[in-house]
Structure 1
Amino acid sequence: MQRAEFVDRFGGVFEHSPFIAERAYDDDLVRGENLTVDRVHAALVAVFRVASEEERLGVLRAHPDLAGRLAIAGELTEDSRKEQAGAGLDRLSPEEHARFTELNTSYTQKFGFPFIIAVKGLTREDILAAFEKRIHNSRTQEFATACGQVERIALLRLESMLPSA
């Protein structure tokens, strides 16, 4: 697989952050035809983890608010739209939407990036409970948690794209 094809295919696994796929390819972490979920995920995560804190912050900031203005305007990436819809975030009551909006605003003001959680398999109640718990974390704790969630989202996206073995 050539670089452009690899980046085109995997550049969106980390939300709006194709530099992760570019570096994984350039660092020769992933080559050949035997691309599996585990292999590609390990390569992309390795790049993400050695990226500067500012670059990782940029990856976090590239994620949309949950049930936020981009969702309402229909401007989410296809992956984000499917993920949020799968958790029922496209069907919030007015009261639930108001609570998500309030939490999104408070969280972003406190931490400087949006609340990130791998929503697959979670209900909106699960997500809201995690939101309300995590907003009390320190910035250091939450940065680490959000980075872990980004890695989990990447894994889930890759599972829909590649064989696992």
Structure 2
Amino acid sequence: MAIHAADASDRVEQMIILTERLTELIALEAQAFEARRPQDALAHQAETTKLANIYRHESMRIRANPKLVSDAPLTQRTRLVRATEAFDAVLARQGRALEAAKTVTEGIVRAIAEEVASQRSHAGGYGPRAAATPATGAATAITLNQRA
């Protein structure tokens, strides 16, 4: 999908609107991850994906042919630069939030795996001659709720 613009000014205006909406959506996702509610980030996932693809496509077109926007008024192009800077800042924020969520998730999975492993090596019998049963090395399945 591409932006269909009448001229450079129209294209820049559409890119500003697109960039500002993407910034808003990514900020909402970052807030969801920061609030430890990743499931809330799913609410706008389809729109975010669609707009991100359009943004990527249009950015590549503009990079390949700067004339698509160079004839737009300087004030309008400056607004696009500012919108892009805000978008980059929100992407960095989301990246930090995702990295934090990833670290927490990996820590939880590691703790579960360690607990499962420790449960395997508990005493295997009763009485004074009971010995700890070594871990067998067999894999243990762990099921995670993807909605959690």
Q: Per the shorter chain, which TM-score range?
A: under 0.3
The structure in which a higher percent of residues are helix is 2
Q: Normalising to structure 1: TM-score of the pair?
A: 0.23
